[in-house]
Amino acid sequence: MEKQRLNFLGLLNMSIGCFGIQFGWGLQMANMSAIFEHLGAEADQIPILWLAAPLTGLFVQPIIGHMSDNTWGALGRRRPYFLVGAIFSSIALIFMPTSSMLWMAAGLLWILDTSVNISMEPFRAFVGDILPEKQRTQGFAMQSLFIGLGAVMASVLPWLLSNFFHVPQVSTTGKAIPLTVEISFQIGGAVFLGTVLWTVLTTKEYPPENMEAFGQQQEEQSGIVAGFREIVSALGEMPEKMRQLAWVQFFTWMGMYCVFLYFPPAVARNIFGATDQNSVLYAAGVEWAGICIAVYNAVCFLFSFFLAPIAKTTSRQFTYSFCLLCGAAGLFSLAFIQNEYVLFLPMIGLGIAWAGILSMPYAMLIGCLPPDRSGVYMGIFNFFIVLPQIAVSLGFGWIMRNLLNGDRLSAVVFGGIFMVIAAVLTQRVEATTAPEKIPQSQLSSQQN
């Protein structure tokens, strides 16, 4: 069946769910380490407390990818998973900031990350399902655009509540977690569910061309055992280009995970000088880190418009290496910054990197995947995002104790080394086709 090009509204409808997903994830990225510290966690404990995120992704994404490849019903192939994940993610977001003990927050993080992975994984395969090959870079760029916008809004929300709506930074009811964070997470739950529901109700999927053959495939591939068998089989038959991209992903996400783990506490402690995690100064520092995260996501949002034109005139490999080197430069520069306003400069480089990370590997990958296994391969591709995060979660606590003396800012700067390695490895990824040609008039009309 020939796939039709989507106009701007069609691209918006199929991608807006990414806004809500990233809104929820953005709240987690900007506030979770601070929540753990509010509940008594030390610097070397933070990586292991974050283990839920990569570990659930390791198991959930390939299984959900396999299941969505073999699903067809009233809501289509991918959309049932969008919706189920959104419902449980919203529940976890609402209850997360009510945690009174460390184990409660850690447990809710497991639920949240499992549910977010259920929603997010099929969105990558969704682009390949819906869009023709020549429009896929636009599709992934549109996803990056909404992901960036969602993260901007989520990251800045506690600061907005504090500075414009005068919500107290520190809880007045004796709770460990500030009221601004609690309200932000409640809003996040509503946004997550509402935007995913929008995509589910406005975007139709193509049915299998041969429903009888698909029914037989469903019967053969049903069950967890069949799912694991399919994952093992797909691993053995992994395209060479995917193997090359796996190394790129591995080092990229080691770098970004250092940012996720330590950037907000680093700003509070190293830039603002807070020593007490229950102080107003610490809360202000974490809120400022949210502003910085909003800045790099705003840059991601804006730079997403330029990804397709740059890839068209150069190559996807060059474009991605450039993005990663910009991110590395931004992280290295943090070592020399002592003023909170100057922090915005390295966020430009990190935002360019984030735009590339969210779209270019998938744009390079999707064309080499068999269409009937794109979901499971996208899940397997996630291995190379979560395995480095698991390695950091298990090993970086020792580095913090023995090499970095608990210095959170040094841990963030450390991530720049990994990004440089990833940028070099990107040049080893084979180019299978000429750069995608997208008419400029069409690009501007569909991405504005």
Report the number of distinct structural domains present in the chain. Answer: 1
d(CA 355, CA 319): 11
Q: Which helix (H) or strand (E) holds 376?
A: helix 374-381
The position carrying tokens 């809710």 is 108
SS3 assignment, position 132: coil
Computed over every residue of the chain, the mean pLDDT equals 85
Q: Token digits for 437? A: 């040609």
Tell me what the mean pLDDT of segment 175-184 comes to.
88
Burial grade of 440 (CB within 10 A; 0-12, 13-18, 19 or more): exposed
Q: Which residue has the higher pLDDT, 416 or 134?
A: 416
pLDDT at 233 over 70: yes
Q: What does the pLDDT read at residue 295? A: 93
Confidence of residue 219 (pLDDT cuts 50, 70, 90): low
**Beta bridge partners of residue 73, listed in sequence order:** 76
**Domain annotation covers residue 275:** yes
Q: Token digits for 426? A: 């990107």
Q: Token digits for 31? A: 């506030």
Q: Token digits for 266? A: 């680093």
pLDDT digits (tens, 9 = 90+) for 81-96: 999 999 999 999 999 9
pLDDT at 212 over 70: no
b (16+ CB within 10 A) / e for 381-395: bbbbbbbbbbbbbee
CA angle 299, 195, 35 (to 5 degrees): 65
Do residues 304 and 292 lie in contact, with contact meaning Cβ atoms separated by under 8 Å? no
pLDDT at 293 over 80: yes
Q: Which of 11-15, 36-40, 351-355, 374-378 has the lowest mean pLDDT?
A: 374-378
d(CA 183, CA 164): 14
Predicted structure pTM score = 0.76
Do residues 394 and 47 lie in contact, with contact meaning Cβ atoms separated by under 8 Å? yes
pLDDT at 435 over 60: no
Confidence of residue 367 (pLDDT cuts 50, 70, 90): confident
Annotate 26-95 with DSSP letters as a single string. Answer: HHHHHHHHHHHHHTT--GGGHHHHTTHHHHHHHHHHHHHHHHHHT--BTTBSSHHHHHHHHHHHHHHHHH
User: Domain range spanning residue 280?
Assistant: 9-205+222-432
Do residues 286 and 264 lie in contact, with contact meaning Cβ atoms separated by under 8 Å? yes
**Domain annotation covers residue 403:** yes
The position carrying tokens 């606590």 is 397
Q: Which of 85-89, 213-217, 378-382, 410-414 has the lowest mean pLDDT?
A: 213-217
Confidence of residue 12 (pLDDT cuts 50, 70, 90): very high
pLDDT at 59 over 70: yes
d(CA 369, CA 391): 27
DSSP state of 387: H
d(CA 410, CA 416): 10
Q: What does the pLDDT read at residue 208? A: 74
**Domain annotation covers residue 445:** no
How far is the CA of 38 from the CAs of 46, 65, 94, 123, 257, in angstroms?
Answer: 12, 36, 18, 34, 21
Q: What does the pLDDT read at residue 444? A: 28
**Domain annotation covers residue 60:** yes
Phi, psi of 73 (to 5 degrees): -160, -160
Tell me what the mean pLDDT of segment 327-334 comes to.
97
**Beta bridge partners of residue 76, listed in sequence order:** 73
Residue 376: which CATH number?
A: 1.20.1250.20
Q: Which of 43-47, 66-70, 416-420 has the lowest mean pLDDT?
A: 66-70
Confidence of residue 440 (pLDDT cuts 50, 70, 90): very low
pLDDT at 346 over 80: yes
Residue type at 164?
A: F
**Domain annotation covers residue 301:** yes
Q: What is the Cβ-side half-sphere exposure of residue 329, based on CA atoms within 13 angstroms?
A: 12
Q: Which residue has the higher pLDDT, 413 or 441?
A: 413
**Domain annotation covers residue 447:** no
Do residues 356 and 143 lie in contact, with contact meaning Cβ atoms separated by under 8 Å? no
pLDDT at 272 over 70: yes
Among 171, 197, 188, 199, residue whose Cα is nearest residue 38: 171
**Domain annotation covers residue 440:** no
d(CA 325, CA 235): 30
